Every structure is written in structure tokens, then in C-alpha cells.
Structure 1
Amino acid sequence: MTETTVIRGGPTWPILPASMAATGRSSIRASLRSRAAISWYVGAGFSLLWLATLVEDVVAASNGPASEAIGIAVVAVYGLAFLVAAPIIWALPARGRLLVVAGLWAYTFVFTPWVGWGIGGTWTYVGVLIGVCVLDWRLTWKLVFGLGALAVGTGYLAYGPVQDIFFAPAITVSISAMMAAFARNVASMNQLRAAQAELERMAVEQERGRVARDIHDILGHSLTVITVKAELAGRLVTVDADRATREIGEVEELARGALADVRATVAGFRGVSVSGELAGARTALEAADVRADLPVSTEQVPAEYRELAGWVVREGVTNVIRHANAQTCRVRLDARGIEVADDGVGPSAGASGPTDSAAAAFDPASASNGLRGLRERAEADGARLSVGRSDLGGFSLRVAW
């Protein structure tokens, strides 16, 4: 991920990697050492070869070795300032970038003792910095053409009304415009990379949530049935050993099935069907000694909602077995939704309606995990989950689509 600064009228400009994100001096130091800065140093270093002409002019205008040495040192500082200016710009907001550009432009007036008003020829480097600032296009054009116009003015003061005074300004404007376009292309690419990285992160988070939700739902249901059957087998050991043996065998099968479901869920290949869940619900309810009032057909459920209906049956029946202390569990299906209801203890007084509040009063653990995950599934499919008191007197879980 990258840290970005939004610039009105232009793309966002990724300043530094998130690991370098900081404020003030530490951010500038990180930018000066970044990989982008190293690439800039190489490219900008080649462009400094054009300063050789300025060095020749300074040497020619010097009136002694001291003047010559000072002039060369001034040119060297200018080149160094240009090299570090861009990485510094990347660590600053728009106003700070403009200050850096203005500072480099102001520095060029130090050359006037040697080249007089011929300083306009050095403003190409200032124009390049304007381009890499990635400012609003209108402001960029104003600055670039304004710099070109000033270069024409200084050229007139230096050389008079000759045609050559337009040569250096034309170079400044054209190179500045090219750098502005190039910087925007780079900024757009960096923005796309940042967006791609964000999408990848979101996909990972979504997949992690899917796996956690599925494992909760799978294990919650399977372990509940295993617990009920194990308790039943324990009671039957001294009464009906053969049936106890069968129950233990079914517990083993359920455990193996749960393990297979977990493996398939992690791999992303597991599917849930409402018909399969109803069959499992009947077995689980009978083991818990709860009368199962279940539909004999699922054809009325639209195909696109059958998996969601399966998850509703799984979560609803699991909660009935765990918490309802019910005698009857009823599942109703139609073309508009599904309801799992019971005649158990139901939600606490005053807790009802299409929210998770009733579920929280009835079963805090389920409301925070199972029902929350089920609501996420329902919303993802365009359906709506509601909980409350059923007409049987207990709890009602309904999903409408």
C-alpha cells in the first residue's frame, strides 16, 4: 500500500510506501533514500550535463581564480539542489512543493554576477520540477507558460530584440510539459497499483471472513449434534447397548463428515443445499428429542436462494437444539422466504423485531457469530434477516428474499 495525496484536477500521487509514511523530517529522509529517488538521481544526473554550458559561461565571465571557483561551486550547488528537490517534493503537500520550486527558481538569481539576465537559460530545471509536482493542470500550465514568458523577458534584457531569445524559453516550456505528462502517467500507474493492492487486501479479508463464518456454522451444527448423540449414547449404555453402539457409530460418522466439511470449506469448494440440511436437521432434532415439523419439498424455493435457505436451516436448528429447550421445531418454506420457529423459551421480554437484539438476549454467542454471519450471507444475496417471537411461543428466525 502507498500513502497518497489527492490533488484537485489530477491523479493521486503516491508519495511513499506505507512503511516509510511519516511526517516532517523523517518523511523527507525516507523519500530521499527511496527506490524512486534512486531512479530519479540516475535520470536527473544525466540531465545535469547541460550545466556544462553554464559552467563555461561562468568561467568566461570570471575575473580571476577566486571568482571562477565560487561560480563553479554555485553551479554545483544548483545541480545538487535540483537532484534532491524532486524526492523532497514527493514528501510534501502541494503548497510545500510550490515552495521548493520557488526556492530553486530564486536560487538562479545567484548566477547574475556571471551571466546577468542570461539566467533564463537555467530555468528548464525549474520547469521540470513544476512538472513532477503533479499539480492541477490549469495551475501547471500557468506556471510553465509564466516561466517561459519570464525567460523571454530576461532574454530580451540580456540579448535585445533578437530571434534567439525564444529558443531557451521554448525548450523550457516543451520539456516542462513533457515532464508533467510523464509524471501524471507514473502517478496514474502508481495509483492503479495501490488500488490493486487494496483490492487484493479486501479479497483476502473477505475470504478470511468466509472461511471463519463457514467453519463456525459447520462446526457449530456438527458439534451440537455430536454432543446430543454422545449424551444419548451415554444414557443408553446400560439400557439399550445396541442402540448406544449405533449412536456412537453415527457420532463417528458425523465427526468424519465435519472434518471433511472443514477441509472443503478451507479449499473453497463446499456447497450447502436446503434439502440436505433439512435431512440433517431431522436426524439432529430426533436425537435431541425435539419433534421436527419440516417441509417435504423444497421446490418452492427459488434456485438462487437454496444455498442461503440451507444455511438458515443449519443455524436455526442448531440454536433450537442448543438453547431453546423446545418440544417442537418448525421449518416453513415458500417462494418469499424461510422461517425456523420453535415453542421453547424464546427471546427475553421486550426483545423482538428485525434486528439482532432479540438474538442477543436469547443467545449472545450466536448473535455475535452465527446470526451475524447469517445476516451477512442474507445481505450479500439481497435478502433480509429478522428475529423475534414465533407464533408457537418460542423463537423465530426468518429470512425473506
Structure 2
Amino acid sequence: MRVEQGVDLREWPVWTPEDPAATRRGRLRTVIAAAVFLVFLVRSVVQEWGLPVGSRVALVAVACVYVASYLLTLYLAPLHGRLVRSLSIGWLYLAGAAFALVTADPSDLALLSYAVAAGIILLPLRWGVLLGVLTTLSVMAGTWLVDGAVDWRDTFVLLMMTAGLVTVTQLIRTVNQLRTAHDRIRVLAVADERSRLARDMHDVLGHSLTTITVKTGLARRILESGADPARALTELRDAERLSRQALGEIRATVSGYRRPSLAAELAGVHEALRAADITAVLPQAVDDVAEELREPFSYVLREGITNVIRHSGANRCEVRLGPRCLEIRDDGRPTNGVAAGTGLTGLTERMAAVGGRLTAEPLPGKGFRLCAEA
């Protein structure tokens, strides 16, 4: 996955927060902040008030159009697409140039800075920088052609305004990106926690309830036959112990502190297979298994044996352990395929997290094989 560094200068700014009211407030704050800088335009109107009456009327009219267009562009254009924004910026340039044309003062071309500011805010930053540079060159050329000398003061102000506004705009967009990324990370974290909880609850409850069901069923059959009440009581005590153990595991799973033990799971598997009347061929120790694989192998062992007891109808089950592999084989009913349910999906995710893979496949003739390796 490629990670974008900083703000893309070619990216069009987008105003699409989930809260429409926040959008309106943000655009309104932009308009209010922009209105403060209109004092320079008002000052130019005052300075040119000595023009003839007709020129003063035209000057006021053009200034009002320029101001209204500037503020409406900042408030409304963010809601529209690229064409409307581009046309709005173009109109601002026409209104600004008309103002300088009415005053016949080339230095008033510096008031095109409002159009530049709107371009930096509404267009990709690369375009905004280009507009600022071209506008500065236009002011330099206009003052040189009319006055015979470049107005370096206005040129410097326009350059500094462009650089400052580009920097601030880039900073604002970066902060917005960070907020968006933070919100996305929060959503992904919640989804990941839900997935972990669902996977762990399935692993805990599936095996524990299956074993409890097998043991209580065995106790019921013993009591119904009247064969050995003492053994039935033993099975019931085991079922009670398992239910208490499952309750503790559920609490640990919810709190996120549950860490299964491969040795403990192996002992539980022996009990579960014995209660289900399935011959178990199990390894004697887990010392050879890599330390980082013992936890995922514990889940694979638990889920695999649970499936053997619940679905296979097997008489024999064999578990093989290696340093980086775990294999479960049974001699159960023939099957045509494998349905990837919640359990196998969760195991696949667990093995992928440690760079491993899970293989679930029917054996030739009859039986099933579940293999986890890394």
C-alpha cells in the first residue's frame, strides 16, 4: 500500500464532512475572515474618490460587484464542482481588472489578490501558486508599461500574500487530512475489535459448549442405563467445571487479556475426545513448537477438535505437532468439499497474522485433514 506524504498539490479540495451544519459554519468562518481584508479595497476606493462623478459611480458599482462576487464565491463555490469554481475565479479576475480599469491606476491590479486568494482556497494548490505568480507578473508589467517603473512595493506584498496563504491553506488541508485519518483509524479499530471479539467468542464457546454437551449427554445415557452412577457424576462434575472455566474465558476474552495455552488445550482435547468416545492419538508435549506459534496453534487445535466432535462422526482422531506445523486428521464421514464458516475463517486470519496458512481438505476415501503451518 502506498502512503501519500503531505498534501497533494494537484488535489481539488473537498468540503464533505458528515455534519452539514459544520460545513456551513466552516464556510461562514472563511467568509468572515476574508471580509476583514476588504479594508484594502475600501481604502483604494477612498483614495480614488477624487474622480469625476460618473467615474465615482462606476467605481463604487464595480467595487460592490467585486466584493459581493468575492464573498459569494468563498461561501457557495465550495459546494460545486471544478467547472463552477474555475468560472467563479475567472469572474473575480474580470471584476478586479475592471476596478483597475475604472481607476486607470495599474497599481490597483494588486487588488487581484482577492481573486488569487479565492483561487488558492478553491483550486488545487499548484494552480493557486501559478495564479499568484502570473498575477504578480501582470502587476509588474502593468506598472512598468504605464508608469515606466515596476511598483516593487505592491509586487512584494502580492508575493508575500500568495506565499503566506498557500502555506496556511496547505497547513489547514494537512490538519483536515489528519482528522480524516484519525476518524478512519478509529472506525477500523472498532471494526477490528469487533472482529477479534466475535472470533474469540466463537473459539471459546464453540469448543466449551461442545465438550459440555458431550459430557452431559454421556452422563444422561449412563443414568438412563443405570450402569455406573459414579461415572455419570464424574462427567457432570467435569461439565460443571468446564462451564465455570468457559465463563472465566469469556470474561478474559471480553477484557482482551485471554492468552490460551497449547499444553492446556492439548489436555482439554484429550478429555473432549474421550467423552465423545473417539480414540485420540495425541503428542506428549508441546516443547518443540515455536513460541510465537503456540497461541495460534491453540486456537487451531481447539476449533479443529470441536469440528471433529460435532461434524465428522469419526472413531479416531490424530494430532501431529511440529516446530512450525500442526496437523489434525480424522477417519470421519466422506465429504465433498469444505465450507469456510466462521471458525475456519477466523483460523485463517489468525495464521495470516503470523505469516502462516491454513489448509482444510478431505482425505481420499474418508476422513478430513486440517493443517496449520508457518
| Fold conserved between structures, TM > 0.5 | yes
Q: Which residue of 2 aligns with 1:123?
A: 112
Spell out the pairing of 1:100-179 with structure 2 (5 A cutoff): 100-111=88-99, 114-118=102-106, 119-133=108-122, 135=124, 137=126, 139-156=127-144, 159-163=146-150, 165-179=151-165
Q: Which range is displaced more, 39-48 or 202-211?
A: 39-48
2:266 to 274, 278, 281: 278
Which among 162, 185, 199 is matched to residue 185 of structure 2? 199
Residue of structure 2 equivalent to 1:60: 50
Deviation at 1:194, TM superposition (A): 1.3
Residue identity in the other structure for 1:127:
V
Q: Is the 8 A contact 2:133 2:159 kept in 1?
A: yes
1:41 aligns with 2:31: yes
Comparing 384-393 with 41-50, which one deviates more in the overlay?
A: 384-393
Q: Is the 8 A contact 1:11 1:184 kept in 2?
A: no
User: In the alignment, which residue of structure 1 is the partner of 2:3?
Assistant: none
State the alpha-carbon separation in 1 of the partners of residues 113 and 358 from structure 2.
65
Question: Quick one: distance in 2 between partners of 1:371 and 1:258?
Answer: 21
Secondary structure, counterpart of 1:271 in structure 2: coil
Q: Say which of 289, 307, 311 aligns to 1:301.
A: 289
Counterpart residue number, 2:322: 334
- Report if the CA contact (8 A) 1:12-1:187 is conserved: no
Partner of 2:171: 185
Residue 323 (structure 1) aligns with: 311
User: Contact 2:211 / 2:272 at 8 angstroms: preserved in 1?
Assistant: yes
Q: Given the alignment, which residue of 355, 373, 380 partners 2:353?
A: 380
Residue identity matched to 1:16:
T
The partner residue of 1:247 within 198, 223, 235 is 235
Contact kept in structure 2, 1:14 and 1:187, CA below 8 Å = no
Is contact 1:130-1:176 (8 Å) kept? no
Gapped runs of 5+ residues in structure 2?
1-5
Give the match for residue 396 of structure 1.
Answer: 369
Q: Distance in 1 between matches of 2:36 and 2:97?
A: 23
**Equivalents in 2 of 1:62, 1:289: separation in Å?**
110
Instruction: Name 1:363's counterpart in structure 2.
Output: none
C-alpha offsets along residues 73-129 of structure 1, whole Å, 9 cap, x if unaligned? 442332232223234443445554333221111122443564135441321211222
Task: Tell me, yes or no, if the aligned pair for 1:229 and 1:247 is still in contact at 8 Å.
Answer: yes
SS of 1:44's equivalent in the other structure is helix
CA-CA distance at 1:277 after TM superposition: 0.7
Q: C-alpha deviations, 1:5-49, integer Å up to 9, x for none? A: x985456745221344xxxxxxxxx78x52322321232121111
**Residue 290 of structure 2 is aligned to residue 314 of structure 1:** no
Distance (whole Å) between structure 2 residues aligned to residue 166 and residue 188 of structure 1:
33
Query: Between the two proteins, what is the percent identity of the paired residues?
Result: 32
* Equivalent in 218, 241, 250 of residue 232 of structure 1: 218
Q: Unpaired segments of 5 or more residues in structure 1? A: 1-5, 21-29, 349-357, 361-366
Aligned-partner Cα distance in 2 for 1:268–1:309: 18
Query: Hey, what's the Cα distance between the residues in 2 that align with 1:9 and 1:111?
Result: 31
Distance 1:153 1:61 in 2: 24
In 2, the alpha carbon distance for the partners of 1:305 and 1:392 equals 31
Q: 1:192 to 1:10 in 2, by over 3 A?
A: farther
Q: CA deviation at 1:59?
A: 3.4
Asked if 1 retains the 8 angstrom alpha-carbon contact of 2:93 and 2:112, the reply is yes
Which residue of structure 2 lines up, in the alignment, with residue 261 of structure 1? 249
Change (3 A) 1:116 1:259: same
CA deviations on 1:337-379 (whole Å, 9 max, x unpaired) are 000111111422xxxxxxxxx321xxxxxx2200011011111
Offset at residue 214 of structure 1 (A): 0.6
AA at the equivalent of 2:148: P
Alpha-carbon shift at residue 55 of structure 1 (Å)? 2.4
Report if aligned partners of 1:131, 1:177 keep a CA contact under 8 Å in 2. no
Residue of structure 2 in register with 1:208 after alignment: 194
Shift of 1:162: 3.8
1:303 shift after superposition: 0.4
C-alpha contact 1:12 1:191 (8 A) present in aligned 2: no
- Give the distance between the partners of 1:113 and 1:141, measured in 2 at CA: 25
Inter-partner Cα distance in structure 1 for 2:38 and 2:361: 76
**Equivalent AA in structure 1 for residue 166 of structure 2:** A
TM normalised by structure 1 equals 0.83
Structure-2 residue corresponding to 1:369: 342
The alignment's TM-score, normalised by the length of structure 2, stands at 0.89
* Number of aligned residue pairs: 366
Q: How big is each residue's C-alpha offset from its partner over 1:245-286, in whole Å with a ceiling of 9 and x where there is no partner? A: 332222222222212211211110001121111111111111
Give the 3 Å change call, closer, same or farther, for CA 333–370 of structure 1 in structure 2: same
- Which whole-Å CA distance do the structure 2 matches of 1:124 and 1:244 have between them? 91
Q: What is the distance in 1 between the residues matched to 2:73 and 2:320?
A: 71
